[in-house]
Structure 1
Amino acid sequence: MSIWSGILFVIPLFMFVCGLFSFVGSRKHLLSTLLSLEFIMLSLFWLIGSVLSGVGVDSFFSLFFLTLAACEGALGLGLLVSIVQTHGSDNFGSFAVLKC
């Protein structure tokens, strides 16, 4: 195992941890939480691609994962548009639980 193959595994793990910290730390706006979720999905896609290419397996599973990540992103953006239309902003502080 060379140094470059080790870096291919360390960078996505670091990205994943940074995305988790961003997801936990961003509690004010829905858009920032959605962006951190997409960053986590991108890092996991990179990690899965690195692992599958290191093992020598076909990359069908990574394309399936990328498709699910794109569907998750589209669903999140649809929810964001719906929330902005009904409540006026994506600020979590302006939401009332009893009104929804």
Structure 2
Amino acid sequence: MTIFSIPFISGSFFMIFCGLWSFISYQKHLLNSLLSLEFMMLGIFWLMGIMMSGVGSEIYFCLFFLTLAACEGALGLSLLVFIVRTHGNDCFKSFNVLEC
């Protein structure tokens, strides 16, 4: 790791922190939560890419992580489409635990 990669590392930590902050503070809609989770995954992927390239180890782990993040995004979007079709919106306050 060189001195030039330190701003990129701090930027990725900032991305992860902003994604976590938006996930905690904006819980009105499901789409906001999914977007903040994807933003955190992007920050983690960026951090892993910087760390793996600095060490010189296998980059295939980053590709595996990116595949899992894409699967998580597809699963979240399918859940969002299902909820919008059954309930009519994606607001968390309109969900009822006792509904089927």
Q: TM-score, normalised by structure 1?
A: 0.96
Could you list the structure 1 runs, at least 4 aligned residues long, displaced by more than 6 angstroms after superposition.
none
* Match in the other structure for 1:14: 14
Q: Residues 71-82 of structure 1 correspond to what in structure 2 (within 5 A)? A: 71-82=71-82
* Match in the other structure for 1:36: 36
Q: Residues 41-52 of structure 1 correspond to what in structure 2 (within 5 A)? A: 41-52=41-52
Deviates more, 1:4-13 or 1:59-68: 4-13
C-alpha distance after superposition, 1:19-46 (max 9, x if no partner): 0000001111000000000000000000
* Match in the other structure for 1:91: 91
**Amino acid of the structure 2 residue aligned with 1:16:** I
**Amino acid of the structure 1 residue aligned with 2:91:** N
Q: How far did residue 76 of structure 1 move? A: 0.2
Seq. identity, %: 60
Q: For residues 7 and 54 of structure 2, what CA distance do their matches in structure 1 show?
A: 12
Q: Give secondary structure in 2 for the equivalent of 1:46.
A: helix
Q: How many residues align?
A: 99
C-alpha distance after superposition, 1:2-27 (max 9, x if no partner): 2x211121110011000000000111
C-alpha distance after superposition, 1:38-59 (max 9, x if no partner): 0000000000000000101121
**Amino acid of the structure 2 residue aligned with 1:41:** M
Question: What stretches of structure 1 of length at least 5 have no aligned partner?
Answer: none
